[in-house]
């Protein structure tokens, strides 16, 4: 049997189970099954008793006997099997809803069993639902059977007998197939250099380790492999891009120079100037630029974006900026129009809420080359949006767009335009090394002069009256206040302050006509939302009650107080983004994190981090450690890195070693033509072939 064979041909699978494995877990071939790794192991040598068992443990191992086996008829069509488990220190109920006939004959009162599963409380009674159970053998507490792999599965698979143990049996069957070849992917010289286990041994060692040491060695080998090939793919992509042809901008022209000399109302920071030089170097190289711009909230990324757009326009090309929300797109459009006032540059906006006639007019002018800068949302990637000569694309808040969406913008010219992707959420070093190693990276690590750090304060409901008094004093001094809620309406089962309830409460404490209040949330019509935002920007309202729709794109220098309700419900990066809405003027600003009295340890750690630093990079590192890479940027994150085993925080030394090794190899052999690197070449080709087939299917 070969690893490329369809999983249905493996003994114990068949067509029905194969279809389910593919749909539920993405397991279509034998190789897919082999790479469905355990997510933890149960050490059967670590047996606890009912008296000492922690009911909060995710998995426990107990040893004892089973009595009082009964089949209970729950309804006309359903039944369950119950039994009492005794271990000499107490008793616990066991419950099964599947495999009842088999269990009736399997469970014997005279046999001592190992019981493995998650203990739960039901009606104040300790029970275990669908535990794994097998006869206890004297040498089970050691030897080759101590570590039991635990596999992720689903309820539908469990109903077909493919619980963790069922999947384990299939893997065991596969590994014991006569003549099965598990191909090596990493050359011997790398295995020797890093003392890595050969792949066939690693595959057996990770599924059925005979010891903790073997499990760790197998894990190290396979983590290195996935990080190594991720880096290899990224670095090769970068090399190919550097070799390819791109638009060559050779002129720093009249528009750029006039704007720089006459229009900038402040002295640019050294970091902004450095980044513009880096972008300009790329633009005139004749190779397509693909650069990531990182900068903390308020560091001046928008100014860099505009000035580099002027370089494109001076060289006869159009530029566009794509933003994730209409509010942010409108903000950029308004800022560009204001900053370019009096200059012969045409700036237009294209968003979904515009009238059809307005959209048609913008698209016609764009195609005719009458628009220099187009600002918009994902509406820019529609097929009906045709540029005359697109040379430069800026993508703001890049993590909110999928790769496919970005690629559709790149295809708007026969020669790919230069690309600048910006993020106001600084990316932790370990994540950047792993995920963005194919991009050149620029960092704005200075704040504009005069920007004061925002004072961050933690408060609870007991201090709300004091908070209202502080807000009134700020308003009396001519300042404005944001109050942000996580929800629009009360959500059943969640103990949260909802926006509408909060609005009513604030309206009572800040009555008209002395106080004016705006309200903004994502379910409002765009024109109503824009109207309320504009009232607040003009200073016509004192307080803006909002959901996180104002997380990005709102720039009101007069707003000095940000109150975040239920702050414990937000991630660190989102809290940092919200805090960045204040502190944009010259005066002192405040961010008040309102929480309930009792916090979980992780929530307390987030709040403490926010109160202790305003450094976006420190916050991003803390967020990565608290939430993991799958959640760091708030999109469909679980598969963002597509890592099966490695953790880019805990495994940073492996990330670094893999990256350095890839760089060393590609510097000496960029085409991987050396005989020593043929294994790498073959593996990459096989992965690309698999990807092509997947796209066809």
Nearest Cα to Cα of residue 451 among 547, 525, 560? 560
Residues 87 and 688: their CA atoms lie apart, in Å, by 54
Residues 332 and 303: their CA atoms lie apart, in Å, by 10
For residue 380 the two structure tokens come to 């820019």
Q: What is the pLDDT of residue 634?
A: 35
Q: What is the pLDDT of residue 402?
A: 55
What residue has token string 């029970």?
A: 127
Cβ neighbors of 280 (< 8 A, separation 6 or more) are 249, 252, 308, 311
- Top-ranked range on mean pLDDT: pick from 45-59, 249-263, 519-533, 645-659: 249-263
Residues 583 and 589: their CA atoms lie apart, in Å, by 5
For residue 160 the two structure tokens come to 């077909």
Q: Is beta strand 480-484 parallel, antiparallel or unpaired with respect to 543-546?
A: parallel
Degrees (nearest 5) of the Cα angle 41, 43, 49?
Answer: 125
pLDDT grade for 457, boundaries at 50, 70 and 90? very high
Q: Which residues share a beta bridge with 128?
A: 94, 119
- Is residue 551 over pLDDT 80? no
- Is residue 426 over pLDDT 60? yes
Cis peptide before 535 (omega within 30 of 0): no
Phi and psi of 563, rounded to 5°?
Answer: -105, 125
- For 431-439, what is the mean pLDDT? 67
pLDDT grade for 639, boundaries at 50, 70 and 90? very low
Q: What is the pLDDT of residue 694?
A: 39
**Tens-digit pLDDT profile for residues 124-150:** 888 999 888 888 876 544 444 578 888
Q: What is the pLDDT of residue 219?
A: 96
**Tens-digit pLDDT profile for residues 591-613:** 999 999 888 888 899 999 999 98
- Is residue 522 over pLDDT 80? no
Cβ neighbors of 394 (< 8 A, separation 6 or more) are 305, 308, 309, 319, 320, 321, 322, 420, 421, 422
- For 39-49, what is the mean pLDDT? 84
Q: What is the pLDDT of residue 199?
A: 96
pLDDT above 90: percentage of residues in the chain: 45
Cβ neighbors of 172 (< 8 A, separation 6 or more) are 207, 208
Q: Is beta strand 132-135 parallel, antiparallel or unpaired with respect to 112-117?
A: antiparallel
Range of lowest pLDDT (7-11, 372-376, 587-591) = 587-591
Degrees (nearest 5) of the Cα angle 251, 350, 308?
Answer: 20
Q: What is the pLDDT of residue 602?
A: 84
Range of lowest pLDDT (30-34, 293-297, 418-422, 678-682) = 293-297
Nearest Cα to Cα of residue 321 among 404, 264, 406, 253? 406
Mean pLDDT, the chain, integer: 85
CA distances from 543 to 254, 431, 515, 536, 622 (A): 43, 37, 8, 8, 31
- Is residue 151 over pLDDT 50? yes
Q: What is the pLDDT of residue 314?
A: 95
Nearest Cα to Cα of residue 441 among 431, 454, 450? 431
**Tens-digit pLDDT profile for residues 282-339:** 999 988 888 888 887 778 888 999 999 999 999 999 999 999 888 888 889 998 999 9
Residue 437 in contact with residue 238, Cβ under 8 Å? yes
Range of lowest pLDDT (198-212, 230-244, 254-268, 602-616) = 230-244
Q: At what angle do helices 572-579 and 601-612 cross, to 10 degrees?
A: 30
- Top-ranked range on mean pLDDT: pick from 60-69, 214-223, 322-331: 214-223
- Between residues 377 and 57, which one has the greater pLDDT? 377
Q: What is the pLDDT of residue 696?
A: 36
Name the maximum alpha-carbon separation found in the chain.
93
Q: What is the pLDDT of residue 276?
A: 95
For residue 607 the two structure tokens come to 């709040």
Q: What is the pLDDT of residue 490?
A: 55
Q: What is the pLDDT of residue 229?
A: 92
Residue 127 in contact with residue 95, Cβ under 8 Å? yes
- For 635-649, what is the mean pLDDT? 60
- Between residues 59 and 61, which one has the greater pLDDT? 61
Residues 103 and 109: their CA atoms lie apart, in Å, by 12
Sign of CA dihedral 377, 383, 388, 391: positive
- For 78-107, what is the mean pLDDT? 88
**Tens-digit pLDDT profile for residues 8-29:** 999 999 999 999 999 999 999 9
- Between residues 82 and 453, which one has the greater pLDDT? 82
pLDDT grade for 379, boundaries at 50, 70 and 90? confident
- Between residues 515 and 148, which one has the greater pLDDT? 515
Residues 308 and 271: their CA atoms lie apart, in Å, by 14
Residue 347 in contact with residue 259, Cβ under 8 Å? no
- Top-ranked range on mean pLDDT: pick from 84-98, 120-134, 445-459: 84-98
Q: Alpha helix (H) ranges present in 538-648?
A: 572-579, 601-612, 616-627
**Tens-digit pLDDT profile for residues 176-188:** 999 899 999 999 9
Q: What is the pLDDT of residue 437?
A: 67
Phi and psi of 316, rounded to 5°?
Answer: 90, 15
Nearest Cα to Cα of residue 624 among 395, 425, 424, 400? 425
Nearest Cα to Cα of residue 417 among 284, 237, 246, 239? 246
């Amino acid at each position: 049997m070969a690893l490329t064979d369809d999983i249905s041909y493996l003994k114990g699978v068949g067509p029905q189970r194969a279809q389910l494995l593919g749909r539920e877990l993405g397991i279509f071939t034998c190789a897919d099954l082999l790479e469905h790794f355990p997510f933890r192991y149960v050490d059967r040598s670590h047996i606890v008793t009912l008296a000492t068992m922690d009911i909060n443990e995710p998995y426990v191992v107990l040893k004892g006997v089973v009595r009082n086996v009964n089949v209970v008829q729950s309804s006309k069509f359903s039944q369950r099997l119950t039994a009492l488990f005794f271990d000499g220190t107490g008793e616990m109920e066991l419950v099964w809803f599947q495999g009842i006939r088999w269990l009736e004959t399997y469970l014997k009162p005279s046999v001592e069993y190992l019981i493995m599963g998650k203990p739960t409380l039901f009606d104040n009674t300790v029970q275990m639902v669908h535990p794994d159970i097998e006869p206890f053998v004297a040498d089970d507490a050691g030897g080759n059977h101590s570590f039991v792999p635990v596999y992720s599965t689903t309820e539908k698979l469990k109903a077909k007998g493919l619980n963790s143990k069922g999947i384990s049996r299939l893997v065991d069957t596969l590994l014991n197939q006569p003549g099965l070849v598990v191909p090596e992917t990493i050359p011997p010289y790398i295995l020797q250099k890093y003392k890595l286990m050969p792949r066939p041994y690693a595959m057996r060692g990770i599924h059925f380790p005979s010891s903790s040491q073997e499990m760790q060695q197998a894990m190290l080998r396979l983590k290195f492999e996935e990080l190594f090939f991720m880096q290899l793919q990224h670095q090769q992509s970068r090399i190919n891009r550097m070799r390819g042809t791109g638009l060559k901008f050779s002129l720093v022209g009249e528009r750029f120079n006039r704007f720089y000399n006459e229009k900038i109302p402040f002295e640019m920071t050294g970091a902004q100037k450095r980044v513009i030089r880096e972008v300009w170097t790329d633009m005139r190289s004749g190779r397509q630029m693909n650069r990531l711009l990182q900068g903390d909230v308020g560091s001046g990324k928008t100014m860099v974006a505009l000035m580099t757009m002027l370089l494109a326009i001076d060289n006869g090309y159009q530029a566009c900026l794509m933003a994730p929300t209409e509010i942010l797109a409108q903000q950029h459009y308004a800022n560009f129009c204001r900053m370019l006032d009096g200059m012969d540059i045409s700036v237009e906006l294209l968003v979904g809420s515009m009238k059809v006639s307005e959209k048609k007019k913008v698209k016609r002018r764009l195609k005719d080359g009458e628009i220099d800068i187009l600002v918009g949302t994902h509406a820019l990637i529609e097929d009906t949006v045709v540029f005359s000569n697109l040379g430069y694309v800026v993508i703001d808040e890049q993590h909110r767009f999928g790769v496919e969406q970005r690629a559709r913008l790149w295809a708007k010219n026969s020669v790919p335009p230069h690309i600048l992707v910006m993020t106001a959420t600084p990316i932790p070093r370990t994540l950047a090394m792993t995920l963005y190693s194919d991009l050149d990276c620029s960092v704005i690590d200075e704040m504009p002069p005069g920007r004061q750090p925002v004072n961050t304060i933690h408060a609870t409901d007991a201090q709300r009256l004091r908070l209202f008094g502080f807000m009134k004093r700020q308003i009396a001094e001519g300042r404005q206040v944001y109050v942000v809620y996580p929800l629009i309406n009360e959500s059943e089962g969640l103990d949260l302050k909802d926006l509408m309830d909060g609005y009513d409460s604030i309206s009572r404490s800040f009555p008209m006509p002395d106080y004016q209040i705006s309200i903004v949330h994502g379910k409002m019509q765009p024109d109503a939302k824009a109207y309320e935002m504009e009232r607040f920007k003009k200073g016509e309202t004192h307080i803006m009650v909002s959901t996180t729709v104002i997380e990005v794109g709102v720039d009101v220098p007069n707003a000095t107080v940000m109150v975040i309700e239920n702050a414990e419900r937000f991630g660190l990066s989102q809290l940092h983004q919200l805090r960045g809405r204040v502190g944009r003027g010259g005066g002192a600003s405040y961010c008040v994190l309102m929480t309930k009295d009792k916090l979980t340890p992780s929530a307390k750690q987030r709040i403490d981090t926010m109160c202790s630093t305003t450094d976006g990079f420190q916050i991003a590192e803390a967020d990565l450690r608290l939430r993991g890479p799958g959640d760091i940027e708030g999109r469909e994150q679980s598969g963002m890195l597509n890592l099966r085993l490695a953790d880019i925080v805990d495994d940073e030394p492996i990330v670094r070693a893999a990256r350095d090794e890839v760089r060393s190899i590609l510097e000496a052999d960029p085409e991987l033509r050396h005989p020593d690197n043929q294994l790498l070449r073959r593996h990459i080709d096989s992965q690309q072939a698999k990807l092509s087939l997947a796209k066809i299917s």
